[in-house]
Amino acid sequence: MSEADACPFSNRDDRKSAALAEAEARPDAGFAPIVNFDFARDVMRSPAMVQGMEADYFKDKEPSKVPVIFLDGELHKKRRAQLARYFTPKAIKDRHRKVMDQTTDEVMAQLRRTGRGQLDVMSLRLACDVAAEIVGLTNTDPDAMSNRLRKKFTASGKRKRPGLAGKLGALEDVVRTLWFFKRDVVPAIRHRQKHDRDDVISFLVREGYSDQEILVECMTYATAGMITTREFIVMCAWHLLEKEDLRRQFLEGGEDVQFAILDEVLRIDPVAAYVYRKAEADMTATDGRVVKAGEQFLVDIRNINLDEEATGACPFAIDPERSKRQKMPSNWMSFADGPHRCPGAQVAMHETRVFLDALLRVPGIRLARKPTMGWIEEINGYELHGAIVECDPSR
Ligand code: HEM
């Protein structure tokens, strides 16, 4: 019997972003795609591999002032160790959970008052508040900052438009980035120059980063941590609001069941479609394959997460039992692996769970309008905007 015959879900395909990714994803040329889970893991974990994403902007910059995602080797290891304190289970439990609960309560209270809410605006507010607390962007009104960042990322999407529209989009992007810098980043830096705190900006101030270098770090977190989580929350909400059985399972299950459902959504609809790696030295994978120094890889997260040898039967169907049954990591390749593996993975999982648990318990909650899908190059992934939820307004 083939794997497909063994599928208990009649070969169901639950993916929502596959067709969009197929049409829109434009990975750089010259990188060999990896779609096999085991080989991907070997590559990602190998000390012979370095980040393959190039950023001309940082080429002439002092290495110690480059954002963590572009670093490698000892400097990267040291930076990750310095940042680890903000992402431990204890930090999530003692610090970030408070922000998650408080913002979720505020956002849901607003939804119940008005009977209507735009999902991506609601989810960005939560993603911003949580990442802002880690980064130290806490000296301005959070709702206004979330709006400024939303407009900034909408503007950067306009850069791709042809002709004059693209030029105007690029200009608007610069202006909105400077506005975010002036209104949110500078006040946070000035405050921390006088009062040291336990967050990323305080650390950068102590390390002697300039205002501009701190802005670059903030933009890294805004992209890597805020936009990604905004999309993840909306994608999960979309699946759960549409699938009654899955929603019931989520609401009746404990935290383990809830996380397993979120992990499955992220497996079939991963927010980041791919990352790049380059070999600096030769390496031999566990299956004996030899990689030569200089080889470049496109780590195709979308397809790696569907590798039937790892997932078992029915790779396109949401099956919360899957990772346990297959003895696979619960996050699959969705947050990458190895030294650059997303440090914010558990933060993102927790905030998404907290938000959805509250949203799905709102009386009369329903999806009034599905999201419109787009593609964002900053995260190499999908963007879901304009989804509207409605509920029975509170009296
Ligand atoms: C669902 C939400 C998220 C997804 C899908 C995601 C995905 C990823 C992926 C795939 C990488 C690896 C990039 C590479 O290997 O080149 C990464 C790195 C990173 N992520 Fe996330 N992320 C999420 C949330 C967050 C959050 C909440 C934060 C922080 C508040 C964060 C901060 C970072 C940072 C700083 C890096 C760079 C790490 C390094 O290069 O060492 N991410 N993320």
Pairing, β 32-34 against β 296-300: parallel
CA 382, 15, 268, 23 dihedral sign is negative
Q: Which two tokens stand for residue 375?
A: 């593609």
Angstrom distance (rounded) from CA 59 to CA 224: 20
User: DSSP code of 383?
Assistant: E
- pLDDT tens sequence across 127-145: 999 999 999 999 999 999 9
Q: Which of 395, 341, 321, 328 is nearest to 364 (CA)?
A: 395
3-12, 58-67, 293-302, 370-379 — which one is most confidently predicted on average?
Answer: 293-302
Q: Please compute the mean of the pLDDT values over residues 140-156 and round it to a whole number.
A: 92
287: domain CATH number?
1.10.630.10
Q: Which residues line ligand 1 (CB under 6 A)?
A: 51, 53, 68-69, 80, 131, 134, 221, 224-225, 228-229, 232, 271-272, 275, 334-336, 340, 342-344, 347-348
Percent of the chain past pLDDT 70, that is, above it, reads: 98
Q: In Å, how far from its chain's centre is CA 394?
A: 33
For 129, list phi and psi in degrees, rounded to 5.
-60, -40
Q: What is the pLDDT of residues 162-195, one digit of tens each?
A: 788 888 888 999 999 999 999 999 999 999 999 9
Residues, the chain: 395
pTM: 0.95
pLDDT at position 162: 78
Nearest CA to ligand 1 atom 40: 69
Least confidently predicted of 4-8, 62-66, 377-381, 384-388? 4-8
Place of tokens 């696979």: 328
Q: What is the pLDDT of residue 81?
A: 96
CA atoms of 15 and 251, how far apart (whole Å) = 22
Q: How far apart are CA 66 and CA 217, in angstroms?
A: 8
Average pLDDT over residues 150-159: 86
325 secondary structure, DSSP code: H
Quick one: pLDDT at residue 386?
A: 97
Q: Which residue has the higher pLDDT, 86 or 65?
A: 86
Residue 249 pLDDT greater than 90, yes or no:
yes
Total domains in the fold of the chain = 1
- Ligand 1: which atom is nearest the Cα of residue 348? 27
Residue 219 is assigned to a structural domain of this protein = no
pLDDT at 3 over 60: no
DSSP three-state, residue 131:
helix
Residue 93: domain span? 18-131+237-390
Q: What is the mean pLDDT of residues 110-133?
A: 97
Residue at 172 is within a domain = no
Contact status, residue 30 vs residue 277, Cβ threshold 8 Å: no
What's the confidence (pLDDT) of residue 395? 64
In a domain, 71, yes or no: yes
Is pLDDT above 60 for 2? no
Query: Which residue in 236, 227, 29, 60 sits closest to 70, CA to CA?
Result: 60
Give tens-digit pLDDT for 315-374. 999 999 999 999 999 999 999 999 999 999 999 999 999 999 999 999 999 999 999 999
User: Does any domain span residue 140?
Assistant: no
The DSSP element (H or E) to which 54 belongs, if any, is: none
In a domain, 253, yes or no: yes
pLDDT at 166: 83
pLDDT on residue 259: 98
Is residue 316 within 8 Å of 306, Cβ to Cβ? Answer: yes
pLDDT at 56: 67
Tell me the CA–centroid distance for residue 226 and ligand 1, in Å. 10
Residue 244: per-residue pLDDT? 97
Q: Is residue 289 part of a domain?
A: yes
Q: What are phi and psi of 9, to 5 degrees?
A: -110, 25
How many angstroms does the Cα of residue 271 sit away from the middle of ligand 1?
Answer: 10
Which residue lies with its CA nearest to atom 18 of ligand 1?
A: 342
Looking at the DSSP bridge assignments, the partners of residue 299 are 34, 275
28: helix, coil or strand?
Answer: coil
Question: Stretch 18-25: mean pLDDT, rounded?
Answer: 95
Considering only the C-alpha atoms of the chain, give the largest distance between any 2 of them, rounded to a whole number of Å.
68
Report yes or no on 360 lying in a domain: yes
Band the pLDDT of 160: cuts 50, 70, 90.
Answer: confident
Q: Is residue 3 part of a domain?
A: no
Residue 8, pLDDT above cutoff 90: no
Name the residue at shortest CA distance from atom 11 of ligand 1: 342
Task: For residue 69, give the amino acid letter.
Answer: I
